[in-house]
Structure 1
Amino acid sequence: MDLIRSISGIRGTIGKGLTPNIISDYVASFNEIISEGPIVIGRDGRPSGLWIEKIVVGTLLAQNRQVLLAGIVPTPTIQILVEEFKASGGISITASHNPSIWNGLKFIQEDGTFLTRYQNNKLFEIVDSSAFRFSEQSSLQIEEIAEPFEYHFNRIFNLQLFKETNIANKLKNKKYKVVIDANNASGSKIIPEFLQRLGCEVVKINCNGDGIFAHPPEPNPQNITEVAKLVSEFKADIGFVVDPDADRLVIIDETGNPIWEELTIVLAIHSAGLFLEYLNPKSNKVVVNYSTTQLAEYVARKFGFELERAPVGEINVVTKMKELQAVIGGEGSGGVILPVCHYGRDSLVGMILILSLMAKLDKPISEIVSGYPKVFMQKRQFLVKEEIENKIEELVNSLGLSLLDVNNEDGYRINSDFGWIHIRKSNTEPLVRVIFETSNDEDRVKISRLIEKLFEE
């Protein structure tokens, strides 16, 4: 599929799904659903982002809209800039973890969060009916935001965690040696500078900012084996790898072992528990999505948190967090959301929480992770053209459960003593995505065989 549109915006292959006309149509439609005021534009550094930026800006000027240009910055930086400049919205030009042949647009509303499902559907209706308008008067108001990183830094360094504890001094005294791999994208400049301000000795890998990816952009352990070796060779304390728009974070321990991406949010919850009084807690709630590891619940319980789940997608998690006034939240793909900073997945926030955790416990990251129970997760996808309800019922019966054990808020999540299974149909492809997690390998093998039998028949 050349163009994908979802709750995360649109993504498409350059020249096929994503053409100048399509970009202009979506930007013009976004203009129709937001209030008057400036729009912040930033990009993740892919070469195609430069010409896309010109189309985005030109479209908005033709609609008499003021434009604030942030340049190459992470998506969470754009979210913060929207808030800081009291803008009507923002657009992040990125395809996130998709390969370089892809690019896309993430649409941000005036509170710095992504559009809701309702707002996205409204946007898509306007696009499909070409119900957007251009102004008889064009705007000439383009402003480049000076030092956009500073707004992001200030949000973090003004947290009570820094102002009312000795953690800043602890980090400076520790002088952690940190390897950062930004895959030559939006994190290439902001993250090394951020870590240096924390007192870290920084080793930059793939941080030239030219947008040419050095490895597949999905930040999972399979794609970061080369940089993992360098963490060990440089005798670093930790390694950080981010995706192109730097909202997701994966960790490498001091031995050069890539840490499972699901553990990023688990470690962040652990840190939040230790520093809770400085995070302005209004409840004891933590929110993750339905596909996130049960270790999040294990750590949450240790600190008296109640863990709630939301459908997959950043805005779904954020909406639930706001509703429950959650202390922290995120997704198992490496996304950390800390409301006292802002309501968006943010790799810099993840880094500061994890470094603070290491400093507070005075332990290497590998030792902290080794203290968590062992779990076994598997992620699969299957080509399925028919409805899957009968297959779900068959699976439930095979497990000796009832349909009362199935939560259907986001696909089907089956809970049991062995663990859980989450089954979701893709919104964009004839695929079913299946994620399951067990507490032992014997159950993992059993569930894997059941799933294969059902969906490969």
Structure 2
Amino acid sequence: MARELFGTDGVRGTANTYPMTAEVALAIGAAAGRYFRREHGGVHRVVIGKDTRRSGYMFENALTAGLTSTGMNVLLLGPVPTPAVGLLTPSMRADLGIMISASHNPARDNGIKFFGPDGYKLSDEAEAEIEALVASGVEPAHADRIGRARRIDDGRFRYQERVKSTLPPGIRLDGVKVVVDCANGAAYKAAPEVLWELGAEVIPVGVQPNGFNINEECGSTKPRVAAETVVAHCADLGICLDGDADRVILIDERGEVADGDQLMALMATRWAAEERLNGGTLVATVMSNLGLEKHLAGAGLTLERTGVGDRYVVEAMRRGGWNLGGEQSGHIVMTDFATTGDGLMAGLQFLAEMVRTGEPASRLTHVFEPVPQLLKNVRYAPGRAPLEAANVQETIRAAEAQMGSKGRVLIRKSGTEPLIRVMAECEDERLLSEVVNGIVAEVESAA
């Protein structure tokens, strides 16, 4: 079934531009309500969370109108991290969870992410069926079956208690100085409060959202300010979240940035030593560094790769019965604790290891030596398909042949932005640069 609205993580785009308009959001709400409403009667619930974008008000109201028109009762959580929606959907016995967020994208963008009644993100098939309902139209409920909406004031606190419970028993953060960058996003209250309540000395960054500054020169994609703050305050660790707090990037005491691969390597080897790593397997995407794969193999562990997107990581984890996975970008999924990536939970696991070992962050964030990796993005105009151009295809084939067994080339279209991502890995950095720049030049000419 063709998918026009949904990408790799729900529906996303620039606010007030198709598909992220109030009209489309209303139609999506009605379609999702019809898809999830049980036909045998009873109460039908959906929980809705959002980040701090100004357009979130518009989409919250539009989705609520669509959902209530099909008989769904709507529970509004307000600004909460994405993993809070994954947690509260099943705990509140809801049929559906929705998060209004464009994650790490700038404030002008927004998105709609869906969670099923089990708290996990929807499958491609379910999203395709909802999209088909949007296209065909949905008959509203009878007037006496229209749903109602209600504000839930303590959703954030329920989530915070769950996050704190994941810190291993006996571990306290007394004496640990932590810079936490909340990207002016959904965790701007939750993250500092959790860390403080666990005993840490907290230096908050990116905690003054105004509706337009989410991810603006802050957060996991732009950690410079947080790194400077770590060094200036002689902090032990920096925790950088993105706009909806489902991913994390760490900064050591010297201001050096570590990505999700290093954190996953640390957690996988630690969990394996404690016989907690199901099947001796870590699940990660094709973007994760070859150095991670080599490190795990040296420890007798397996790396299972998936397509890009934390949803695909989780689907593989559920199929294989594995309990740890994630992405280089900082999505860390621990299904023992949560149904989706949770940046704050992952940060706590790292802090626990710092306390347990007494080692500085700089040692714990350098678990393996990464293979040189180069990633460049090429933006393309709507309606263009640069990867289908004959000269681009020929350049990619030539690059793969040139790379041979020395490394790998990965070219993909982003599922959340109009970007072509060109990535390669190789020990020979000269060859690496030559290959990536050659492909980028051809993609740019076609874009």
TM-score (norm 2): 0.87
Amino acid at match of 1:240: I
1:217, 1:344 → 2: CA distance? Answer: 25
Aligned to 2:178: 178
Is 1:445 aligned to 2:433, yes or no? yes
Instruction: Give the CA RMSD over aligned residues.
Output: 2.8
2:56, 2:89 → 1: CA distance? Answer: 19
1:20–1:337 CA distance, 2 compared to 1 (3 A): same
Aligned to 1:297: 293
2:94, 2:13 → 1: CA distance? Answer: 26
Amino acid at match of 2:337: C
Shift of 1:5: 3.3
1:19–1:392 CA distance, 2 compared to 1 (3 A): closer
1:133–1:264 CA distance, 2 compared to 1 (3 A): same
1:290, 1:12 → 2: CA distance? Answer: 24
1:250, 1:381 → 2: CA distance? Answer: 20
Shift of 1:101: 1.6
Amino acid at match of 1:233: A
2:371, 2:331 → 1: CA distance? Answer: 20
Among 78, 82, 94, the alignment partner of 2:89 is 82
Shift of 1:8: 1.2
Secondary structure of the 1:39 match is: strand
Aligned to 1:410: none
Matches within 5 A, 1:255-270: 255-257=254-256, 259-260=257-258, 263-270=259-266
Shift of 1:209: 4.2
1:430, 1:292 → 2: CA distance? Answer: 22
Among 111, 116, 125, the alignment partner of 1:104 is 111
Contact 2:425/2:432 (8 A) holds in 1: yes
Matches within 5 A, 1:252-401: 252-257=251-256, 259-260=257-258, 263-276=259-272, 280-382=276-378, 383=380, 384-385=385-386, 387=388, 391-392=392-393, 395-397=396-398, 399-400=400-401
Shift of 1:294: 2.2
Matches within 5 A, 1:106-125: 106-125=113-132
Contact 2:9/2:416 (8 A) holds in 1: no
1:98–1:215 CA distance, 2 compared to 1 (3 A): closer
The Cα offsets for residues 295-328 of structure 1, whole Å up to 9 and x where unpaired, read as 3323433543211111112221111111111131
1:194–1:302 CA distance, 2 compared to 1 (3 A): farther
1:60, 1:217 → 2: CA distance? Answer: 35
Shift of 1:449: 4.3
The Cα offsets for residues 100-146 of structure 1, whole Å up to 9 and x where unpaired, read as 12222111111111111111111111112224534432445434334
Aligned to 1:128: 135
Contact 1:287/1:317 (8 A) holds in 2: yes
1:278–1:34 CA distance, 2 compared to 1 (3 A): farther
Aligned to 2:406: 418
Shift of 1:179: 0.9
Aligned to 2:159: 152
1:452, 1:140 → 2: CA distance? Answer: 51
Among 26, 43, 61, the alignment partner of 1:54 is 61
Contact 1:288/1:331 (8 A) holds in 2: yes
The Cα offsets for residues 346-366 of structure 1, whole Å up to 9 and x where unpaired, read as 111210121122223322222
Amino acid at match of 2:111: G
1:449–1:211 CA distance, 2 compared to 1 (3 A): closer
2:89, 2:111 → 1: CA distance? Answer: 19
Secondary structure of the 1:124 match is: helix
1:131, 1:240 → 2: CA distance? Answer: 44
Aligned to 2:168: 162
1:269–1:339 CA distance, 2 compared to 1 (3 A): farther
Aligned to 1:65: 72
Among 433, 436, 439, the alignment partner of 2:424 is 436
1:348, 1:395 → 2: CA distance? Answer: 38
1:320, 1:232 → 2: CA distance? Answer: 39
Consecutive unaligned residues of structure 1, counting only runs of 5 or more, are: 402-414
The Cα offsets for residues 359-410 of structure 1, whole Å up to 9 and x where unpaired, read as 2332222233345214322222345536257755654455547xxxxxxxxx
1:425, 1:13 → 2: CA distance? Answer: 18
Amino acid at match of 2:434: K
Shift of 1:426: 4.6
Shift of 1:452: 4.1
Contact 2:101/2:111 (8 A) holds in 1: yes
TM-score (norm 1): 0.85
Aligned to 2:236: 237
Amino acid at match of 1:289: T
Contact 1:285/1:324 (8 A) holds in 2: no
1:102, 1:279 → 2: CA distance? Answer: 42
1:136, 1:319 → 2: CA distance? Answer: 39
1:425–1:48 CA distance, 2 compared to 1 (3 A): closer
Contact 1:186/1:244 (8 A) holds in 2: yes
Shift of 1:446: 3.4
Deviates more, 1:339-348 or 1:139-148: 139-148
Shift of 1:280: 4.6
1:386, 1:231 → 2: CA distance? Answer: 41
The Cα offsets for residues 166-206 of structure 1, whole Å up to 9 and x where unpaired, read as 4x14x33xx21111121222111100111112221001122
Aligned positions, number = 431
Among 39, 42, 52, the alignment partner of 1:45 is 52
The Cα offsets for residues 186-234 of structure 1, whole Å up to 9 and x where unpaired, read as 111100111112221001122134434165378456x332232111111
Amino acid at match of 1:90: G
Secondary structure of the 2:318 match is: helix
